[in-house]
Structure 1
Amino acid sequence: MATARTDDGVNLYYEEAGSGTPLVFVHEFGGNYWSWEPQISFFARRYRCVTFAARGFPPSDVPSDVALYSQARAAADIGCILDAIGAEKAHLVGLSMGGFAVLHAGLSFPERLLSICAAGTGYGAEKSHEAYFQGVSEEVARQFEEKGAPAFAPTYAEGASRVQFQEKDPAGWALFAERLAKHSSLGAANTMRGVQAKRPSLYDLEEGFKAMQVPTLVVAGDEDDHCLQPGIFLKKTIPACGLAILPKTGHTTNLEEPALFNHLLAEFLAQVEHGTWRRRDPRARPDQIMRTR
């Protein structure tokens, strides 16, 4: 079993497939290293694909101390994975919790990143919903502690932005819910409290994003309501950023619409590697509707 050891002594489980330029996938709270199966089977034909279990998600270690969980630590763990596989640079793809992690990696060590794809990223970022998000994160943590993952997973898996997956692909959603039920209850609770509830709003990181030169693709489902406005914010703030909105789609974009997600990601990676995913043209002024002179 391949593991990367972090500088604070946590072992992170990872898997690899394919060869070539490293392409590292970072999972959401409701998933794990298995969340990227439709992407690994597609992209391993041309990339060295790596997926790993975040701290708190078996078979990675599950630290009992909530102080060992944070947004900064989640980003640093990506760097530990790059070190473990001997990659000087890599493309990063993250969903939700993983999307926040890859964006923070872009702020922390952009020199090691070839590109960033952040999907379903925005929960808790909206300033008007910060207090609510922190409160509901604590409630989710408490439910995992008191009921345990097997009992609470069906409730969590039917969230407002996950029923779209259930409607489109009942078997795929059922597998997602079954795997969610295998989460570590302690790891889930600690992740909710240490990472989700305490991470800074994306809007508070505006100056950092304005300076970040890493080519970026933001992906959101049009029924993933709390990721839409943050997605537009990221598009307008990061210099070389594109925004893709998937129609009639919820939160788990890569599993709910795997073919469309893979197409968008493949086209993005191809443009990055050919040097054609550039900063926004300065003539594309947001304050201009029509040119008159």
Structure 2
Amino acid sequence: MDPLVFALVLGAAAMHAGWNAVVKVGLDGFSAVMLISMAAGVLSLLGLPFVPFPEPASWPFLALSGCLHMGYNVALIGAYRAGDFGQIYPIARGAAPLMVAVLSALLLDEPPGLVAALGIALLVGGVWLMSIRGGAVGRSGGLPERRALLAALMTSCFIAAYTLSDGLGGRAAGSAHAYALWLFALDGVLALLVTVVLRGRAIFKGMARALPAGIGGGALSLGAYWTVIWAMSVAPLGQVAALRESSVLFALLISVVFLGEKASRWRLGAAALIACGAGVIRLA
């Protein structure tokens, strides 16, 4: 993988872990996720005058991805409501890169080479080791409750689906930057509508108290996925999707340093495996 693409995707992984951590502090999960989505949507509007309008071929992908991102948000909220950030986050991210690698090979004629396949396998294996045996000290160290596990796995399905949709959409748009900004603008509108319909306008009073955190989370979310959409337009989808999941390394650091969750030896071993996988992908 090109060194610049590799470095930028790692940066996106760090930003992604950051905005997911914001979901676990302050507001309830629904309010936090929707506030971050709306903030990212508003921030994306600032960039729209500087990018071309996406090509019509990308519009179906924009519409599909808007729905998939909302489904992802709902599933993510359900998972975080029932589980610990340091364990739920890797489960939610773990299956998606493998799905993307297989589907991109079958549908897009982008089979990974031997080195890339090895890197993907190491990284995904580390993610799953962290989720299954890497629970916080003081917990069982196994899988979380069934409800949280199902929500996390459902989130993985949404991640894989919108990754493929956005990878194709960014390529068809003529400008990956234009596609990313329009996607976040659409997500912001949908988040606003879903919030009003499900919770009513009174919820915005509570959101206002967490506005600085929401804007920060929105900026991280926008920067992270904007970078990933661009990377998928210049590199194989499977490799980008897998490398993006190195975000669990940053999630581990956040969970220990800022959320007070202790790291078991299983978490640390899984983190080393993920780092090895990322290094192998760099060599592909």
Query: TM-score by structure 2 length?
Result: 0.29
More strand by share: 1
Q: Which has the higher contact order (CA 8 A, sep 6+)?
A: 2
TM-score (norm 1): 0.29
Greater fraction of residues in helix: 2
